[in-house]
Amino acid sequence: MSEVHGSAVPSELSSATPESPLQRPLRIALFGFGTVGSSVARILVESRPNGVELTHVFNRNVARKKADWVPSGVVWSEDADAVLASDADVIVELAGGLDPAGNWVRRALEAGKSVVTANKKLIAYHGVELEKLAAERGGHLKYGAAVAGGIPVIPGLEQGLAGDRIERIEGILNGTCNFILSKMEKGAEYADVLAEAQKLGYAEADPTEDVGGFDARAKLSILMRLALRVQIHPDEITPRPITTITAMDFSYAKDLGCTIRQVARAEWAQGPVAATVGPMLVDLNSPLAWSRGTENMVIMSGRYGGDVVFSGHGAGGHPTAVAVVSDLLALAHGSRRVAIPAAPAKVGVEFEVPHYIRFLVNDRPGIVAAITAALARENINIRAIVQKPGFPADALPFVVTVEPCRSSALQRALTSIKTMDCLLVEPLDLQMLE
Amino acid sequence: MSEVHGSAVPSELSSATPESPLQRPLRIALFGFGTVGSSVARILVESRPNGVELTHVFNRNVARKKADWVPSGVVWSEDADAVLASDADVIVELAGGLDPAGNWVRRALEAGKSVVTANKKLIAYHGVELEKLAAERGGHLKYGAAVAGGIPVIPGLEQGLAGDRIERIEGILNGTCNFILSKMEKGAEYADVLAEAQKLGYAEADPTEDVGGFDARAKLSILMRLALRVQIHPDEITPRPITTITAMDFSYAKDLGCTIRQVARAEWAQGPVAATVGPMLVDLNSPLAWSRGTENMVIMSGRYGGDVVFSGHGAGGHPTAVAVVSDLLALAHGSRRVAIPAAPAKVGVEFEVPHYIRFLVNDRPGIVAAITAALARENINIRAIVQKPGFPADALPFVVTVEPCRSSALQRALTSIKTMDCLLVEPLDLQMLE
């Protein structure tokens, strides 16, 4: 056997040999003992997986957090420096956000420790740099929980789809938006569902990060690196909020055999890779339409393997903790990441897809003629015009759907259309997924 | 950093350092150059992934197989012994079946080589022994392609769900059966769809392995080892064929808000683990009902993470080859399997689920009374009795559905019912998935 892949894998944990990676349990320090952190501890305590041992918990006001079901040997601390300087092998970072979490992660990696994190923002903005640091110092950085929580999208990509060339990603990556939109599909209005989501703890007091698409774009940029093999700056993706969607749009969508979901999508295109996040029309026969409540779903389209769909619970303490503990076990077993090379790339918005455009007008003769003429000037073919009865003439909604066209051509047509003074609001333009 | 997880992971393939596993490409020998083998070669030649190099192809009548797009340095051979004795690092076994494939795999592992295989039968019957052999000799055995082809169920389980405790598996694991049953759902009869499947190459001339459930049970037993952590003998699962299903059953299923799929299912239960394979009623709102054509789908239910759904192309040259190449890349990157411990277990059939029972009778008074009395003696509650009009009295179908009951109780009731001389065929008893 060559040295290329020479170390033994035990067929069971208990049969670990001296050559195996399981010489002694990895010592685990949790940074953050909130919902996810306490779930990680719970699984470690209840399941007692071989190869890992919880040794430290760091949290602010740690006395308030201390749980009696955690083994007495665990060190509770509110001194991050002390825990970083301890003999813990792995720091599990669950604080979230760029700071101070990024500082802790950097210092742990600089010290040659490994890091497991669920921090999508940190990985989206600094993942490449942190992976490089880990490699230089002999540690490992794993973040299976950063995208789609308990659904093994990242391990599936790295270990099971690395042999394909993924050409397109379509994902429902934000459970809050999916909860809101799947409730609106049943007839509720945005403001009411948002209030319910906030009451249930699914949405923050300031929901912008979720409903504005910022959370989903961070996750999309991570998937783009692993699946499309491009390093992009997340801020290059301009998200569109779901706040512009009304019950009326769900009604029109239904007439078109569709529903509406917040979708994060990216694909190979001529020139820059195309990526966008926002509400889109989804065919009722598409798997994306099946996702309900806070579920997440990701569809990867590979050149060789075709479409692969992953779905499940994308957030919540226990599902996210499953991803964290799985990363810890992979470290303990010596499972190395399949490092997929990614090249720096620019983000474009040039898709060639059909669109749904909803107008709200003060009705007068010639509106449809003017709109269709503006579309025709850009060689955009109309698929359907739908005007449902029962609305007043001075606030009349109607919908135009168009055949696949380049995003830039449609934007030019809409810029021209937006000058019409009969429009009561800006036209709502949604991509349609087929 | 401790020696526990001390080797560096390059952030890109091209940045491989002397300490990294990518010192030289792994030398790959393909055993079998049929549909999957030539797809594996195609991906290696087109995608040129770093870390692996195709060096040998073994096939019978190799001259007939030789492809001009394969690099000229590749050795083509019909001498298995010579290729096993060569300097190839990894044998990719794609011949299938227990023999001679098992012999090749054993000899490769004995020689300290690693093996990647798509051979579900070999892994189902001999996986434990072969993994032990690999560990003893310093090689690795990977079989991501053995279950659900291009869908990363096995990598997802090992690398992303190892931190959970999976309690239930429900899967559509045989594309041939799914093709047949999803066509029958649209009104076709079994014999016609089977003939079409054979013409399209989806079914063998002798379709028993697929339609009898033997293929799915081999895959289920592999998933049971990785997900439920039990080592079972596949023959302990008694599969039930889909050949007993008629268009009439689809008609009744539809009235009950269901369709029919071949489902492989296993779950933790009191005493032995419960496992079965066969046609079942699937609620139209269940993800399992969404699978169409030759698609595969697996639902894992975890104690902590809840349900995770995987779906995609479970067979075919390219999707299966994606799984094989991904396994090769994982070997090249030094990614070790997360060896999940599994204990020997016995298989039981004791589920507690609702059932659909379809009778075909020569009608006379008292039949329903006798059947319902037999069920009542076993304390089985009836959910619905459905008799559709338009059938002759001397060949009258009707359906009884029952509330969740233990399989053994229902079998006792059916044994008693089967003695009734008005029955034209044995009652068709299908589990209902909710």
Predicted pLDDT at A381: 97
* Interstrand relation of B428-433 and B352-361 (parallel, antiparallel or unpaired): antiparallel
Which residues make Cβ contacts (< 8 Å) with residue B94, sequence separation at least 6?
B30, B31, B32, B34, B36, B37, B40, B117, B118, B119, B324
Q: Which long-range contacts (CB under 8 A, 24 or more apart) does B98-102 make?
A: B98/B122, B98/B125, B98/B126, B101/B31, B102/B126
Q: How far apart, in whole angstroms, are the C-alpha atoms of residue B225 and residue A14?
A: 16
Q: Out of A65, A183, A219, A346, which one is annotated catalytic?
A: A219
Q: What share of chain A is helix, strand, coil (3-state, %, to 5)?
A: 40, 25, 35
**Residues of chain A scoring pLDDT < 50:** 1-21
Q: Which residue has the tokens 């697929």?
A: B210
The alpha-carbon gap from B275 to the nearest alpha carbon of chain A, in Å, equals 23
CB contact under 8 A, A5 and B331: yes
Q: Which residue has the tokens 């090749």?
A: B104
| Domain range B352-433, CATH architecture | 2-Layer Sandwich (3.30)
CATH number for the domain running over B21-142? 3.40.50.720
Secondary structure class of A161 (helix, strand, coil): coil
Predicted pLDDT at B18: 34
Residues B56-85: tens digit of each pLDDT: 999 999 989 899 999 999 999 999 999 999
B6 Cα distance to chain centroid: 36
CB atoms near residue A24 (< 10 Å)? 13
CB contact under 8 A, B323 and A156: no
The CA-atom distances, in angstroms, between B431 and each of B42, B255, B258, B315 are 42, 16, 12, 26
A127 touches B at CB < 8 Å: no
| B323 contacts on A by Cβ (under 8 Å) | 160, 163, 305
To the question of pTM greater than 0.95 for the whole model, the response is: no
Q: What is the mean pLDDT of residues B392-396?
A: 94
Q: What is the mean pLDDT of residues B234-260?
A: 96
Q: Which residue among A318, A323, A331 sits closest to B160, beta carbon to beta carbon?
A: A323
Backbone phi and psi for residue A321, each to the nearest 5 degrees, phi listed first = -65, -35
Q: Please count the CA atoms within 13 angstroms of the CA of A374 that sit on its side-chain side.
A: 17
| A341 contacts on B by Cβ (under 8 Å) | 12-14, 50
Q: Which residue has the tokens 């490409």?
A: B25
The CA-atom distances, in angstroms, between B10 and each of A193, A336, B15 are 46, 10, 6
CB contact under 8 A, B144 and A136: no
A284 touches B at CB < 8 Å: no
pLDDT for B4 beyond 80: no
Task: Answer yes or no: are the C-beta atoms of B176 and B207 closer than 8 Å.
Answer: yes
CB contact under 8 A, B312 and A311: no
From the options 3.30.70.260, 1.20.1070.10, 3.30.1330.20, 3.60.110.10, give the CATH code of A353-433.
3.30.70.260
**Which helix (H) or strand (E) covers residue A154, if one does?**
helix A153-160
Q: How far apart, in whole angstroms, are the C-alpha atoms of residue B384 and residue A73?
A: 57
Chain B (184-243) residues lying within 8 Å, Cβ to Cβ, of chain A: none
Task: Answer yes or no: are the C-beta atoms of B148 and B298 closer than 8 Å.
Answer: yes
Q: Which residue among B4, B9, B10 sits closest to A24, beta carbon to beta carbon?
A: B4
Q: How many Å from the N-terminal Cα to the C-terminal Cα in chain A?
A: 49
Predicted pLDDT at B375: 97
Predicted pLDDT at B342: 93
> Is CATH 1.10.357.10 the classification given to domain A153-313+338-348?
no
Task: Answer yes or no: are the C-beta atoms of B341 and A344 closer than 8 Å.
Answer: no
Q: How far apart, in whole angstroms, are the C-alpha atoms of residue B312 and residue A20?
A: 35
Chain B (287-316) residues lying within 8 Å, Cβ to Cβ, of chain A: 287, 290, 302, 304-313
Instruction: Name the CATH superfamily housing domain B153-316+337-348.
Output: Dihydrodipicolinate Reductase; domain 2 (3.30.360.10)
B383 touches A at CB < 8 Å: no
Structure tokens of A374?
């503006």
Residues B102-119: tens digit of each pLDDT: 999 999 999 999 999 999
Predicted pLDDT at A15: 34
Q: Which residue among B11, B163, B325 sits closest to A324, beta carbon to beta carbon?
A: B163
Q: What is the ipTM of this complex?
A: 0.92
pLDDT category at B22 given cuts 50, 70, 90 is low
Task: Answer yes or no: are the C-beta atoms of A40 and A70 closer than 8 Å.
Answer: no
Chain B (45-64) residues lying within 8 Å, Cβ to Cβ, of chain A: 47, 49-50
Which residues make Cβ contacts (< 8 Å) with residue B369, sequence separation at least 6?
none
Domain ranges of chain B: 21-142, 153-316+337-348, 352-433
Nearest CA in chain A to B13: A341
The alpha-carbon gap from B383 to the nearest alpha carbon of chain A, in Å, equals 27
Q: How far apart, in whole angstroms, are the C-alpha atoms of residue B378 and residue B369?
A: 15
Q: Which residue has the tokens 């045989």?
A: B174
Which residues make Cβ contacts (< 8 Å) with residue A419, sequence separation at least 6?
none
Secondary structure class of A371 (helix, strand, coil): helix
**How would you write B103-142 as a 3-class SS string?**
HHHHHHHHCCCEEEECCHHHHHHHHHHHHHHHHHHCCCEE
Q: Is B105 exposed, middle or buried (0-12, 13-18, 19+ CB in 10 A)?
A: buried
Q: What is the mean pLDDT of residues B412-420?
A: 96
Predicted pLDDT at B1: 33
pLDDT for B17 beyond 70: no
| In B270-422, beta strands by DSSP E | 273-283, 295-302, 306-313, 343-344, 347-348, 352-361, 382-386, 396-406
CB atoms near residue A82 (< 10 Å)? 12
Q: How far apart, in whole angstroms, are the C-alpha atoms of residue A269 and residue A224?
A: 13
**Which helix (H) or strand (E) covers residue B221, if one does?**
helix B214-223
| A140 contacts on B by Cβ (under 8 Å) | 5, 9
| A307 contacts on B by Cβ (under 8 Å) | 312-313
Residues B146-197: tens digit of each pLDDT: 999 899 999 999 999 999 999 999 999 999 999 999 999 999 999 999 999 9
CB contact under 8 A, B152 and A308: yes
* Interstrand relation of A273-283 and A258-267 (parallel, antiparallel or unpaired): antiparallel
Q: Which amino acid is at A305?
A: G
The CA-atom distances, in angstroms, between B403 and each of A179, B351, B384, B408 are 32, 12, 9, 14
Predicted pLDDT at A22: 52
A142 touches B at CB < 8 Å: no
Nearest CA in chain A to B309: A311
Omega into A100 within 30° of 0, i.e. cis?
yes
Q: How far apart, in whole angstroms, are the C-alpha atoms of residue B94 and residue B416?
A: 48
Task: Answer yes or no: are the C-beta atoms of B103 and B81 closer than 8 Å.
Answer: no
Task: Answer yes or no: are the C-beta atoms of A130 and A141 closer than 8 Å.
Answer: yes
| A153 contacts on B by Cβ (under 8 Å) | 160
Helical spans, DSSP H, in A224-271 = 247-255
